[in-house]
Amino acid sequence: MAQGTVIHVAPEQPTYAVCVLGVETQLDVYGSAPQGCTCFGIDASPGVVVDVAHDPPAKKNSSGSSKWPLDPGLEVSLSVRAASSSTGDQKVQISYYGPKTDPVQALLYITGVEITLNADITHTGKVKPTKARKNQRTWTWGPRGQGAILLVNCDKDNPKSSTMDCADNKVLGREDLQDMSLVTLSTKTPGDFFMKHQLVLHVAKSEMDKVRVFQASRGKQSLTYKAILGPEKPSYTLQLPGGQHSTDFYVEGLSFPDANFPGLISLTISLLDTSNSELPKVLVFQDSVIFRVAPWIMTPNTQPAKEVYVCRIFENEHFVKSLTALTKKAKCKLTVCPLEESMEDQWMQDEIEIGYIQAPHKTLPVVFDSPRNRGLKEFPLKCLLGPDFGYVTRGPQTGGVTDLDSFGNLEVSPPVTVGKKKYPLGRILIGDSSYPSDKSQEMHQALQDFLAAQRVQAPVKLYSDWLFVGHVDEFLSFVPAVHKKGFRLLLASPRSCYQLFQEQLKAGHGEALLFDGVKGKKQQKIKDILSNKKLREHNSYVESCIDWNREVLKRELGLTERDIVDIPQLFKLQVDNTWTSKAEALFPNMVNMLVLGKHLGIPKPFGPIIHGRCCLEEKVRSLLEPLGLHCTFIDDFTPYHLQHGEVHCGTNVRRQPFSFKWWHMVP
């Protein structure tokens, strides 16, 4: 709540004080009492409300008089009903009485003023002044929570600008203002009030680099906006006229929540008494509005797709054509990064992750740029950052980056409930090593800190360092399903693949060939794959790694076996640049798919042909089409599979934000 000062009175001489409308001000009656007095009476102007309380409670005299005993448990508070029209126009008289002393009077002249900071603390999208002063100093989660919300102004509303909007101290028009949160200061005082008082707006020095505040003022022709708080500017003395006045401030976030920043920022207004130039300024009143910076939120495969991104490189013309056909079916926009922009870097999934930020008045997509910085390094800055499309990045920009820092290693589950704990925005999934060693890899701590600090999608660590590339999207995916949970988890499964091939062998199809029709690739018979002991050992190891993750996912996402679909897939081990054996897909990895609503873009596996149909494709269709899904198998063999990636690795999707509002959850 807003806080005022304590008023001390002096017998036989007047005292002058300021009371702010809506704030109870403590009156020190007991400490100001003359020696020998044992009780008191109090009278006030109609515009002043007096509340007298004892601890323990005291009873009124039987005569009904308004005399109260003086004792240490006495508390007297004052509040004003309205702002004063002139200085000291409200009066309070305290009369002290004692058995052996004459009555003594103390006079208090009060100036009532209105000083309120109003922000959208009820999440309506509008700032509504309220008669009752609400507690704006706390921020609470949940459907009944309250607290103002701040967006990081990380888009670029002027395409000609060289940087994000939050990196300059200018307001670039109405569009820029819409990315900010409005705070209104309302004042009502006597006309000469600010000749002896000041109002100072401020933030903590530890927060001044996380926020910027603009003051709106009317110029000769239009409104102007002056940056008054921000980096190196923790406080600003306002120049306000007396009387009734309203001032608008626009607040923009400069930093997302992170390891050393919980995301809370307090904007405070302080009233100072400057009447005595020979003394320091006296703090009379203080009120604050606390903001929470909106978190960056990921969207899972179950959210509707709005736009798909892919790179144009040499040798992927047919892939792009197939993707074009798929996006048309899914009624989704396709954006192709041209050859000169991609720099022959086809791994769109690894470079970026597109999420969003949201306040009650505004939602905008924000691209999270990975620190991998290869050929697509400039793509998010040149092609995505712009009006109402924000940008954020973390991690070292040079050196110190591993494969696990690419965003194929960053996924998010659909909404889940684990026991009694709800995750209405899902949970982030990142790949990690099973234990630290000289050769192990893990996601950079700066990335992990950023993801955890957002709070609304509590991250889960999975074991992915057993893979040659090391990304979680190499063994899992999620698809929508008409199902109690609304989705199914897909896991790559060597066991399922061996079972399928064994069935085909028993049916007399042992001579059917894997990679039939693939130029330059050695074909393998089903019977030879099944009899390959070394390959069996490789996949037994892979199965154990996936099983470990299976149990983690069941525990951390609240899943059962009924929620999981096993997608047939074989792997092989090969030595990486640290001379460590790591796994990669033997044939195109079908779980590494593109999910566009009911339409799935699945890597074409080139499996054994049985009765004119690929048995791997038929198996996957039989697993997914009963869920209401449509499978389209896309040839990604040369441009992607042979380069250790697949369809999902080579694409990215901007999805529709959740209808659920993040501030309604309880982390």
Pairing of strands 630-634, 599-603: parallel
Choose, from 473, 563, 566, 636, the residue flagged as catalytic: 473
pLDDT of residue 134: 64
Distance CA(223)–CA(220), nearest Å, equals 8
What tokens appear for 89 in the block? 């126009």
Per the annotation, the verdict on 648 as an active-site residue is no
Tens-place pLDDT, residues 648-663: 999 999 999 999 999 9
> Does pLDDT of 319 surpass 50?
yes
Position 576 confidence tier, pLDDT thresholds 50, 70, 90:
confident
Q: Where does 424-575 show beta strands of DSSP type E? A: 428-432, 460-463, 476-480, 487-493, 513-514, 524-525, 564-568, 571-575
Distance CA(312)–CA(339), nearest Å, equals 5
Whether the bond between 231 and the residue before it is cis, its omega within 30 degrees of 0, is no
Per the annotation, the verdict on 471 as an active-site residue is yes
The secondary structure of 456-488 as a DSSP string is: TT--EEEE-TTBSS--GGGTEEEEE-SSSSSEE
Distance CA(457)–CA(452), nearest Å, equals 8
> Does pLDDT of 64 surpass 50?
no
**For residue 591, what are the contacts with CB-CB under 8 A and spacing of at least 6?**
473, 474, 475, 476, 477, 490, 491, 492, 567, 569
Choose, from 37, 614, 615, 649, the residue flagged as catalytic: 649
pLDDT of residue 4: 73
Tens-place pLDDT, residues 237-255: 999 999 999 999 999 999 9
Choose, from 350, 403, 405, 465, the residue flagged as catalytic: 350
pLDDT of residue 62: 37
Position 133 confidence tier, pLDDT thresholds 50, 70, 90:
low
> Does pLDDT of 63 surpass 50?
no
665 DSSP 8-state letter: S
The secondary structure of 572-636 as a DSSP string is: EEEE-TTS-EEEEESS--TTS-EEETTEEEEE-----EETTEEHHHHHHHHHHGGGT-EEEEE--
Position 321 confidence tier, pLDDT thresholds 50, 70, 90:
very high
pLDDT of residue 3: 72
| Nearest one of 536, 544, 413, 546 to 491, comparing CA atoms | 546
Tens-place pLDDT, residues 512-554: 999 998 998 999 999 999 999 999 999 999 999 999 999 999 9
Position 61 confidence tier, pLDDT thresholds 50, 70, 90:
very low
User: What residues does 352 pair with on adjacent strands?
Assistant: 369
3-state secondary structure of 323: helix
Choose, from 123, 361, 471, 648, the residue flagged as catalytic: 471
pLDDT of residue 12: 81
**For residue 280, what are the contacts with CB-CB under 8 A and spacing of at least 6?**
none
What percentage of the chain exceeds 90 in pLDDT? 87
Distance CA(14)–CA(225), nearest Å, equals 43
Q: Where does 312-397 show beta strands of DSSP type E? A: 333-337, 352-359, 362-369, 390-393
| CB 1 within 8 Å of CB 135 | yes
Distance CA(176)–CA(165), nearest Å, equals 8
374 DSSP 8-state letter: S
Higher pLDDT, 56 or 564: 564
Average pLDDT over residues 435-440: 82
**454: amino acid identity, one letter:** Q
Average pLDDT over residues 179-208: 97
pLDDT of residue 356: 98
| Nearest one of 489, 497, 491 to 464, comparing CA atoms | 491
3-state secondary structure of 219: coil
Position 136 confidence tier, pLDDT thresholds 50, 70, 90:
confident
| CB 590 within 8 Å of CB 603 | yes
Distance CA(2)–CA(607), nearest Å, equals 70
pLDDT of residue 517: 86
Per the annotation, the verdict on 473 as an active-site residue is yes
Instruction: Indicate the Cα dihedral angle 127, 128, 130, 136, nearest 10°.
Output: -20
Average pLDDT over residues 48-53: 93
Judged on CB neighbours under 10 Å (0-12, 13-18, 19+), 64 is: exposed
Per the annotation, the verdict on 19 as an active-site residue is no
**For residue 547, what are the contacts with CB-CB under 8 A and spacing of at least 6?**
none
> Hunting for tokens 């038929």 — which residue is that?
618
Please state, rounded to an integer, the average pLDDT across all residues of the chain: 94
> Does pLDDT of 574 surpass 50?
yes
